[in-house]
Amino acid sequence: MSPDRRRPPPFLPPFLPAFHLLLPIGLAAVSLAAGCAGSEARDPGAPPEATAPTTKPAPATRSAAAGSIAGRIAYDAGPAPAMRICAIGSGDPADAAARCVRTAAGATAYRIDGLGDDDYIVFAWTKTSPPRVGGHVRQVQCIRAPCPPMPESVTVAGGARVDGVDLDGFYDRREDFPPPPAE
């Protein structure tokens, strides 16, 4: 390729002979070969290797460092009963990784250790009859009333301990909460 001709941008098919593509936008035209706003300037006389796009970095992998989630148990009906508390990783709750702990009756706090880098939702299931379900929830605004609080996601990264993930919503029944993970 001669130095006075530039290669077409990488998103154009190689069989197009043009090295500029003009698209009308209103009354203006944009040269796609000139790059995008905020991109680095290109030297039109540079060899093709200098104008070739760089490769994307490899996607991040989950860290092997173990983090934790901790918080209060704000049971709304007297002293907290014994319960199983689980941090469920991102993805479909039925298939996501889960790490669980058991608390004794009367417990006021919990901590789940050994969590890898991920986004988690935290739920609790009581051992009472009838059983109740709880979670780390936040109030949301919605059009319908009453609007129930929704589970709030928590991010664990780099082996950090995330405090303040309180179990502050307990319910007799919530169809939108997942069943407890298998033991």
> For residue 154, which amino acid is it?
V
CATH number of the domain to which 137 belongs: 2.60.40.1120
Report yes or no on 113 lying in a domain. yes
Tokens representing 46?
């540079």
pLDDT in tens, the chain (183 residues): 444 444 444 433 344 344 333 333 333 333 333 333 333 344 444 444 433 333 333 333 444 569 999 999 999 988 999 999 999 999 887 788 999 999 999 999 999 999 999 999 999 999 888 899 999 999 888 887 778 899 999 999 999 999 999 999 999 999 989 999 988
| Residues 129, 83 within the same domain | yes
Q: Based on the structure, what is the number of domains in the chain?
A: 2
Give the pLDDT confidence score for residue 18 in this predicted structure: 41
| Residues 37, 121 within the same domain | no
Write the DSSP assignment of the chain as a string of letters.
--TTSPPPPTTS-TT---S--EEEETTEEEEGGG--TTSPP--TTS-HHHHSPPPPPPPP----S-EEEEEEB--SSSSPPPEEEEEE-SS-TTTS-EEEEEE-TT--EEEEEEEPSEEEEEEEEE-SSS--EEE-EE----SSSS---EE--EEE-TT-EE----B-EEES--TTSPPPPP-
| Residues 158, 80 within the same domain | yes
Residue with tokens 């001709």: 5
Q: In whole angstroms, what is the distance from residue 151 CA to residue 156 CA?
A: 16
pTM over 0.85: no
Report yes or no on 15 lying in a domain. no
Strand 137-138 and strand 133-135: the pairing is unpaired
